[in-house]
Amino acid sequence: MSLMIAAPAHIPVLVKETLEALAVQPGGRYIDCTLGAGGHAAAILDKSSPGGQLLGIDADPEAIKVAAAKLETYGDKALLINDNFANLEAISIKYDFFPVHGILFDLGLSSLHLNGNSRGFSFQHDAPLDMRFSPSQEVTAADIINTYSESELAHLIFTYGEEASSRRIARYIVKKRPIESTLQLSLAIEQAVGGRRGRIHPATRTFQALRIAVNRELEHLEVALKQAINLLGFEGRVVVISYHSLEDRIVKQFMRQESRGDNPRLRLINKKVITPSETEVQLNPRSRSAKLRAAERITDRREQYVLAERYSFSEGIEAGGWRRPGLLKKLRRTFAAL
């Protein structure tokens, strides 16, 4: 008997908590900015049925293929777009998909990238040093490793990897160049730090740093969060799951800043960050470092009216799914005559 060993599928993280934080309701309209294998998207479409719609975005065309197969049964309720979420606002406008009830970011890599993928995201498999989410991006990890100066490499590894031995690692990388594969790079790092010590592999932080730089992950996150606010309808929610402190810091500061001052645009849903239960971590070790933050759009009454009128053309209202259907009537009485 032959045994086929399939790569483990991507298990979505904090699903119940995400649905709660997004307050998913029948007839609602949602954007999943990081579609991946479509796990969260399927859960959102199930919970928002009947009438729910989802716009799914992923920079990786492979992820779009996998998600399209998974979401096939939802037909035209799921619109999947291969693009970077840094273009979130333009995409939503192009497809007339706003305002929305909720926007999700489940950041970083999916298991599709780690399990047997040949794009060099993992030091567990030997592969060319690529690390691009999308083949349309120009700069690969090999370009950075082989062309940056020693001090530029040290800075990158320190800033994006929070790696204490960044200078030593950069010195070794420059000494061993050209470096074209994940194995060559992880060996150079092991030599730089004097072999393996402790629980985490010595290449972990450098690989994280490279991936963040290649995909300009932090810049794109900052840009997309700002755009997300503009797309949220009243009481619309933005939910972000992050997997390392650099991302989480950006999300935390953004939500804090937008929820303070004279004209706050967001209200924090959870003051304390939400993390997975011990059971979830046991079942899905990748969830270990996950941190979920959520906030709700605050709008003044005039903005609410404009948005509510837009919603009245969407299936949300028709399906009776809007969280406060009486509000539209009230807003109409106040503003329609103005």
Shortest approach of ligand SAM to residue 240 CB, angstroms?
A: 11
Query: Residue 296, interface with ligand SAM (CB under 6 A)?
Result: no
Task: Spell out, one character per residue from 19 to 58, where the chain touches ligand SAM: x when CB under 6 A holds, - when not.
Answer: ---------------x-xxxxx----------------xx
User: Which residue lies nearer to ligand SAM by CB, 128 or 259?
Assistant: 128
Residue 277: CA atoms inside 13 Å, Cβ hemisphere, count? 6
**131 contacts 206 by C-beta, under 8 angstroms:** no
Residues in the chain: 338
- Give Cα separations from 336 to 168, 234, 268, 280 (angstroms): 67, 17, 30, 49
Binder to ligand SAM among 220, 291, 293, 297 (CB under 6 A)?
220
**228 contacts 99 by C-beta, under 8 angstroms:** no
Binder to ligand SAM among 30, 85, 254, 322 (CB under 6 A)?
85
Residue found by looking up tokens 């100066």 in the block: 149
Amino acid at 41: A
Task: Spell out, one character per residue from 113 to 152, where the chain touches ligand SAM: x when CB under 6 A holds, - when not.
Answer: --------------------x-------------------
User: Which residue lies nearer to ligand SAM by CB, 131 or 173?
Assistant: 131
Shortest approach of ligand SAM to residue 73 CB, angstroms?
A: 16
In terms of Cβ atoms closer than 10 Å to its own Cβ (0-12, 13-18, 19+), residue 118 is exposed
Longest dimension (CA), the chain: 76
97 to 116, contacts with ligand SAM by CB under 6 A? 106, 108-110
- Reduced to 3 states (helix: H, G, I; strand: E, B; else coil), residue 78 is strand
Closest residue to bound ligand SAM by CB? 36
User: Which residue lies nearer to ligand SAM by CB, 92 or 110?
Assistant: 110
In angstroms, the first-to-last Cα distance of the chain is 76
Query: Residue numbers of the site for ligand SAM (CB under 6 A)?
Result: 10, 12, 34, 36-40, 57-60, 63, 84-86, 106, 108-110, 133, 220
